[in-house]
Structure 1
């Protein structure tokens, strides 16, 4: 097991240093590879001796556990990559996973929200919170998320320096350390200005009491120093309840999907949306064309006078 720990640690360090792999990606790969290593140990094998049959047997074991296709695909990807790394490092002379076909992924359209639902969430943010400062922060969080389509990890970890300067633009640090500039809507700009005044005033009071300054736009006293993804997830559920939106349909990611879908519906081109979302490949962005097509089809089925009751039930 010590050998496996060394392989995993060295591999993850290289992923971070050479490819800019995010902490979340490293944690996921680390969990997957530790599970594979533990399974190999039960079979009397290790990373150094495992063969193709054993890798395939492990994937069957994962399937028998009822793991989702996406999870199994990610685990195979992690195994392939660590063996590719081992080959490059001279630890092995082959990659036992290279010819194994993955389970693929279930093709599901992303959940999104309509404009009225988003408006309810934004309105709820303005009225929900124990203090005036909480309400300003909640409003800023939601306005920025919907105005920019940021990933939640990008939003909660925004450095305050990114919000200084030109109020019409926001500098976002994306996956792999790639920066992108996104324009802000007038409501988002106003919410940001109001929150910055409140945040800076609160920080000055803290500094006067001997507390250190925070480099984050949404500071927290927790270990990370900023609002956590988990806390924001809970917050957005609270806002959904307050705004009369079904909580199961609302996550931070559905706001990102709503941003993209609404832009596309109003005539934005895919390349522009790709840039704003920080997608490396426009193929990832193309999923939103299918979301829009499905919504347009549903509108026809629901409202066209020639659509039959049977058509509506199918839709």
Structure 2
């Protein structure tokens, strides 16, 4: 007699659901979103998100000493491992950060262990996730979009994946993924990317068909080519 086996939650014949492709913000939509931000702080924060791929909570937890402009690095404490990791960031992010810090000079504490991000209204407090999300939602409301802070992380990952000079393990390290298979999700193109690529393919095909035929090489008379190749020969047909 076969031993009793407890039925599994998933039928054996049922295929495993594919993992969803992370949603990223197209470049044009990001530019519009960035243009809608109202303060140097918000521009600095979003510039760091899009250039480092850090999680929202990781970047919000950074202190002043963890921002190192001369090396273009910003330190974050990773969500899972709780390890400190210094991430490369864009030069633009540090420019916006400098403008924001100048604006807040003498308004908030500037010790090395003080928060990097503060609310902009009194009483000044460390910027929390919900407040940062509301900033993003206000920009969304102007544009009629529904992007999230986490979409910025996905967008940063997609930008890095598209760079042929970066390896998959480079991107894995920056994103702090424990497994390379998680990073591989960003290799799959989104539907709008595929559509754009195929439309560009059709445009190239049409342009190729509409090119005028090349003239015959010197020394070949058009009537000879027409006799050999037919009326479609270069220089043949209606003369």
TM-score normalised by the chain length of structure 2:
0.68
Q: Give the deviation of 1:187 after TM superposition.
A: 0.9
Distance 1:152 1:199 in 2: 22
SS of the residue corresponding to residue 31 of structure 2 reads helix
Partner residue, 1:123: 35
SS of the residue corresponding to residue 238 of structure 1 reads helix
Partner residue, 1:277: 175
- Spell out the pairing of 1:52-71 with structure 2 (5 A cutoff): none
The 1:166–1:189 alpha-carbon spacing in structure 2 relative to 1, beyond 3 Å, is same
Partner residue, 2:117: 218
2:149 corresponds to 1:252: yes
Q: List runs of 5+ in structure 1 lacking aligned partners.
A: 1-52, 61-68, 70-102, 129-134, 308-315
Distance 1:165 1:158 in 2: 14
Partner residue, 2:20: 108
TM-score normalised by the chain length of structure 1:
0.53
Larger helix percent: 1
Distance 1:302 1:227 in 2: 43
The alignment's C-alpha RMSD in Å is 3.3
Q: Which has the higher contact order (CA 8 A, sep 6+)?
A: 2
The 1:145–1:289 alpha-carbon spacing in structure 2 relative to 1, beyond 3 Å, is same
Larger Rg over CA atoms: 2
Which string of whole-angstrom CA distances, capped at 9 and with x for unpartnered residues, describes residues 158-178 of structure 1? 112211563511111112212
Partner residue, 1:301: 198
- Spell out the pairing of 1:27-176 with structure 2 (5 A cutoff): 107-125=19-37, 128=38, 135-164=39-68, 166-175=70-79, 176=81
The 1:219–1:296 alpha-carbon spacing in structure 2 relative to 1, beyond 3 Å, is closer
Moved over 3 A (4+): 103-106, 164-167
SS of the residue corresponding to residue 171 of structure 1 reads strand
SS of the residue corresponding to residue 74 of structure 2 reads strand
Q: List runs of 5+ in structure 2 lacking aligned partners.
A: 1-5, 205-239
